[in-house]
Chain A
C-alpha cells in the first residue's frame, strides 16, 4: 500500500496544476473516499439512463442494445406529433398546469394572510400543523378517499349540494368538470404547505412598520395592502417562477389515480399517456421519445424560470 500513491504522484508532478490537485487529494483523502460512492451512484443511476435516451432516435431492441440498434432519426417524434392521442395529452398537460398555476397560486398567499391575522398562538399553530398534513398523503390514498366523497350519486359533496337545492356535479366523469376537480383537489392538498414560506416571510417583517401604520390610523386591510403584500412581493415572484418551471413534472400521481377513460379527452397528460402505452403495447423507443419531449420542455421552462429569478433577485438564482 505504501508504493501506490508515489506511483501515481511521480509522473504527473511536472504540471503545477496537477501538483495542486494531487496535494488536495492527499490532504483530503477521506473526503474523496467518501464522495466516491455517491459519484458512482450518480453515474450508474442517472447518467446511464440519461444516455439511454438515444434510443428515442433508434428502433431499439434488447438484443442490439443502445449501440447496435438502428438509427432512425426523428421518426418517433414525427409519429408522436401526428398521433392525436399524444397531441391531446400534450395540450392537456399545458392546459391543466396553466389552470393549476392561475387558480392555485393565490391560495397559499390568502391562507397565510388569514392565519397571520389570528392572535391566539395556540389556535394559529394548530391550524398550521393541520394544514401541512395532506401534503404528506399520497394520491393513491387521496384518490381512494375522493372517489367516495366526489362520487356523483352517493358522494358526500353531491349529497350536500342536493341538500342545498343545487344540481349534482359529476366531478370525476364529466370531461368539462374534471380538470377543475384536479386543480381544486390539488389546492386542497398543497395550500397549507405552500403557505409556510409566506408565513415565514411575514414573520420577518419588522413590527415597527405596523406600529407606525397604527399610529397613522391605518385599518387592518390598509396594513395588509401597504405593508404585508409589498413585503411578500419578491417571495411571490420567486415561487410563481418556480411553479412555472415545475409545470411539466408534477401531476402524474394525481391524474393517474383519479382519471378514467370517460375523461381522457381533458384529463390525459403526457406521463399518463406513456404509462398507459407502456402497460399495453410498449414500443420502447417511441415512449422514450415521448418522455424526452416532456423532459426537454420541462428543462427549457426551468432554465427560463431560473433566468427570470436571477433578474428579479439581484443575480441570485434558485440553484
Chain B
C-alpha cells in the first residue's frame, strides 16, 4: 500500500469522529458513573465524567427489591420465548413465500403485506385481547407480535436470493421440506436470522407500551415497564416510598437503567457483525 501523508483534513476527520464517539458514549457513561456514586458525589458533580466514589449501594437497593428481580425474570422469559416463537414462524412463513410455483404463495404474501400498511390501532387490539381472555397474561405481549411483516419481507427476500440453486440440488438429492429448511436454508441464512432475531429480541426486551395496556398485575410487569414506572415516579410500582427517601432516587434510577440495558450491551457485539450482510441481502429483491 502506498503511504499517504497525514494531512490537516485527516486530523479534522479523526477529531470529528472522536467527538462523535464521545457524544455517543457520554450519556451511557454518565449514567454508569451516577449508578456507582454516593449521594454526596452525585450532588457534587455536574458532568459525572470521572467517578469520585465507587459504591454498590444503588445496586444493592435494586437487588433487594423483589419486584426488580421478578421483572428481570419476566423480561428474560418474554424475550426468550417471544423471540423463539417469532423467529420460528417468520422463518416458516418466509420459507413458504420464497417457494416458486405454489398455488397460494401470492395470496398468503398479500395477506401479510396488508398488515404492513394497516393495523386496527390501540382500541380494537385491546378489545381482541380482552375477548380472547389474554388480559393480564404474558401471552398478550408475545402472541400478537409473532410475525412482523417488515422482517418477514426481509426474510423472504433473503431466502429467495440465497436458495435457488442450492435448493434444486437438495431436492434432487431427495431432501424433504423440513430437511431442506433446517439443514440447507437455515445454515446459509445466519446473517438474516441473527439480524432479525436481534430485532425481535430487542422488541420484546424494550416493550413497555403493550405491557402497560394489557397487564394489570405488577408482579408480571417486564423490566422496561418497571423502569418506566420508576422513572415517571409512579407510586404503584411497589417501591416503598419511605425507603426511597433513605436512598438517593437518582443513583437508584441510574442503577435500574444500567441493569436494564446491560443484557442488550452484552449480546449486541456478537450479533452486530451480521447486520450489514443480512440487511443488504434482505433488502434486495430479485
Q: Which of A53, A136, A149, A256 has the most CB of B within 10 A?
A: A136
Does A127 reach chain B (CB closer than 8 Å)?
yes
Q: Which residues of A contact B111 (CB under 8 A)?
A: 39, 42
Contact between B125 and A49 (Cβ–Cβ < 8 Å)?
yes
B28 and chain A: residue at smallest CB distance: A145
Partner of B144, one of A45, A126, A129: A45
Contacts A50-B118, A138-B206, A145-B27 hold; do A31 and B102 have CB atoms under 8 A apart? yes
Q: Which of B25, B92, B103, B108 has the most CB of A within 10 A?
A: B103
Provide the A77-105 mask, 1 if CB < 8 A to any CB of B, else 0.
Answer: 00000000000000000000000000000
Q: How far is the CB of A115 from chain B (nearest CB, A)?
A: 7
Contact between A303 and B120 (Cβ–Cβ < 8 Å)?
no
A129 CA / B17 CA spacing, docked (Å): 13
Provide the A123-160 mask, 1 if CB < 8 A to any CB of B, else 0.
Answer: 10011011111101110111111111100001010011
Interface residues of B (CB under 8 A from A): 4, 9-10, 13-14, 16-17, 20-21, 23-28, 30-31, 34, 46-48, 89, 92-93, 96, 99, 102-104, 108, 111-125, 127-128, 132, 143-144, 146-147, 153, 176-178, 198, 202, 205-206, 208-209, 224, 227-228, 231, 250, 253, 257, 260-261, 264-265, 268-269, 272, 275-276, 279-280, 283, 285
Contact between A25 and B103 (Cβ–Cβ < 8 Å)?
yes
Contact between A49 and B120 (Cβ–Cβ < 8 Å)?
yes
Q: How far is the CB of A106 from chain B (nearest CB, A)?
A: 15
Q: How far is the CB of A262 from chain B (nearest CB, A)?
A: 15
Contacts A31-B177, A145-B257 hold; do A45 and B208 have CB atoms under 8 A apart? no
Name the interface size band of chain A.
35 or more
Q: Which residues of B contact A32 (CB under 8 A)?
A: 104
Interface residues of A (CB under 8 A from B): 20-21, 24-25, 28, 30-32, 34-35, 37-39, 41-42, 44-46, 48-53, 55, 62, 111, 114-115, 117-119, 123, 126-127, 129-134, 136-138, 140-149, 154, 156, 159-160, 188, 192, 196-197, 199-200, 220, 252-253, 256-257, 274-275, 278, 282, 284, 287-288, 291-292, 294-295, 299, 302-303, 316, 319
